[in-house]
Amino acid sequence: MSTRPRPTTLLAFAAALLLAGCTAVNPYYDATRPHHRPDGFANNYGPAGGKPFGELLAWYVERTRNGDPKPPSTHVNGYDFPVVKPDLAMLQANRERITATWIGHSTLLLQIAGLNILTDPQFSARAFPVQWAGPKRRAPLPMTIAQLPRIDLVLISHNHYDHLDHDSVTALQAQAGGPPLFLAPLGVDLWLKDQGVTRVERFDWWDRRTLLGVEVHFVPAQHWSARGLFDRNASLWGGWVVRAPGFDFYFAGDTGYSRDFADIGARFGGFDLAAIPVGAYLPRWFMKEQHVDPAEAVRIHRDVKARRSIGIHWGTFELTDEPLDAPIGELPEALRAQGVPAEAFVLFRHGETRVYERRP
Ligand code: ZN
Ligand code: ZN
């Protein structure tokens, strides 16, 4: 039995989404800031995100004709798709060691400076407004929200459904030991409050704050936003920087390639660990402005001067035309082509944890 959503369902929803004009009012509008608009936000260097209906239709015709995406192979470059069981007892108890665990897609559990930090929590079976249609989770979830250590900080990059999930947010809000602190781009704070989230800090690009003993910055990305019919680019999108003693972390969010990354590299002077998207990139003519491919992800790794990077935004939800496991073959090729050591930019297995050393 096929569990894929009917293309017509997706097409109808996406068409409505993309046809809809901006009718929002930006309550945070600041005319002195170039990426602000009276009705929302814009990119620094690339065009405003979201594609015209004609291009969306052309993409659907193309992918249907080609039969894309092709199914993933189960063994590529020695990678087994099955999930690794995380060491839950270690993650629950750990306050000392710096760790990163890939839960899937753009959801990472980071343990830095004694804090449990979650990026773009998505624990649902589908990344869509409803759970009976839309992109289905293809790799099993390695751990549930109830199995997480108590989360201190949640970093939200933007409001697309594969990054901001209603059920995951409300479950975190209700976690044992009290709700985490949610860090949100401008406008996403309002949505979170509507869902009953009580602890929210909103950030504009380049805002910096010290929270829970770490320095947090919100930084630009080239992307767009929308959850409904009338809110295209009404809320902001971007990436997060967490600077802790001896360890600087960067989460790129969802992005196309732009000069924003050279700006971030110049401002921060490098990172100990970066999480950079490597999936959801075909066809290039449609995706290029909003999603990087593995070669561009490696350019971001170099631009921001990351010592090590993790590839995210792949292998979990089938969103675009490349096979779900394509980054397993393409990332090492891109690293070779750009002279970056293979161990500097890696893909985790779902559920895999790695431990990192603090800088002296
Ligand atoms: Zn997105
Ligand atoms: Zn995404």
Tell me the average pLDDT across 235-242.
98
Residue 11 has pLDDT above 80, yes or no: no
How high does pLDDT run on average in the chain?
91
Q: Look up residue 25 and give its amino acid.
A: V
Residue 75 has pLDDT above 70, yes or no: no
pTM of the model: 0.91
**How many whole angstroms separate alpha carbon 127 and alpha carbon 278?**
18
Split at pLDDT 50, 70, 90, the class of 3 is: very low
**In which residue are the tokens 């971001």 written?**
300
| pLDDT tens profile 156-180 | 999 999 999 999 999 999 999 999 9
Distance 307 CA to ligand 1 centre (A): 25
Residue 271 has pLDDT above 50, yes or no: yes
Q: Which helix (H) or strand (E) holds 112?
A: strand 107-112
The bound ligand whose nearest atom lies closest to the alpha carbon of 122 is 2
Q: Which pLDDT value is given to residue 4?
A: 47
Residues around the ion ligand 1 (C-beta < 5 A) = 160, 254
Q: Which pLDDT value is given to residue 23?
A: 58
Cβ–Cβ under 8 Å, residues 345 and 311: yes
The bound ligand whose nearest atom lies closest to the alpha carbon of 233 is 1
Distance 360 CA to ligand 2 centre (A): 35
Nearest residue to 253 via CA among 283, 232, 222 = 222
CATH code reported for the domain at 8-19+51-356: 3.60.15.10
Residue 346 has pLDDT above 90, yes or no: yes
Q: Look up residue 340 and give its amino acid.
A: V
Three-state secondary structure readout of 54-95: HHHHHHHHHHHHHCCCCCCCCEECCEECCCCCCCHHHHHHCC
Q: Which pLDDT value is given to residue 14?
A: 54
Cβ–Cβ under 8 Å, residues 175 and 181: no
Split at pLDDT 50, 70, 90, the class of 6 is: low
Distance 127 CA to ligand 2 centre (A): 9
Distance 246 CA to ligand 1 centre (A): 31
| pLDDT tens profile 276-305 | 999 999 898 889 999 999 999 999 999 999
| pLDDT tens profile 242-270 | 999 999 999 999 999 999 999 999 999 99
